[in-house]
Amino acid sequence: MKISVVTAVYNRAGTVRAAIDSVQAQTYADIEHVIQDGGSNDGTLDIIREAANASTVLVSERDDGIYDAINRGITNATGDAIGLMHSDDIFAGPQVIAKVAAALADPMVDGVFGDLQYVAADNPSRVIRHWKSGEYAPSKISKGWMPPHPTLYLRREVFDRHGLYDTDLQVAADYDAMLRYLVKGGIKLAYIPEVLVKMRVGGESNRSIERIIRKSREDMLAIRRNGVGGAGVLIRKNLSKVGQFFLKDDTQ
């Protein structure tokens, strides 16, 4: 099984090399790393070209934002299963993709996810927030549950059948897509009960009050359009994050 890892990047010279090294450190043999660059002009492209190996597929072209770039990367990917590695993130260890592939060996499984750690931007070993997601059950969706998006790997058929990310949404297209896949698509997910990805804090959706307000509005739109419920789902979704600042990773 070929696993495609898609990285959408624009002007991330300070972090993109760590993301690439993290992918290349994986022990699983059949990995394709699709790097979708939005026309970086800060040296990012030079770093990517220097770090590239035989598994790297680099496409550099202007796009219409992060979700458009992700959609382009997925379209350019040739793997049997596809996941994301944001340009600020790293895998938690070298066996992550091997474990993803092992879970996807079950033909009844449409996708795989695991736990996520938010880490300090300048020190990935310092954990800020630990997201222990737990097993998926359809009943959890109305309680605000969602799998950590950076840990999610889906079979190509999921995108083919249920579509890519809605680029009309600026900060919540990932939540909308996951609800569409889970609720309308009824896909089956397997859970790997350990940290798969370390994500640096300071993401796009939380960089300002304006973005936080926009995210809440877009989350609400996603909840309603996918028939999940109303404001109560959004409230429970946001409240579920509080405990993640106190939860420790008991697998390390």
Q: What is the pLDDT of residues 112-152, one digit of tens each?
A: 999 999 999 999 999 999 999 999 999 999 998 999 999 99
pLDDT over 80 at 240, yes or no: no
Categorize the per-residue pLDDT at 235 as very low, low, confident or very high, splitting at 50, 70 and 90: confident
| 73 has pLDDT over 90 | yes
Contact partners, residue 248, CB within 8 Å, separation at least 6 = 130
Say how far apart CA 153 and CA 156 lie, in whole Å: 9
C-alpha span between 152 and 100 (Å, rounded): 9
pLDDT category of residue 243 using cuts at 50, 70 and 90: low
- Condensed to tens digits (0 to 9), the pLDDT of residues 159-218 reads 999 999 999 999 999 999 999 999 999 999 999 999 999 999 875 545 567 877 888 899
Domains assigned to the chain: 3-245 (3.90.550.10)
Environment class of 44 (CB within 10 Å of its CB; exposed 0-12, middle 13-18, buried 19+)? buried
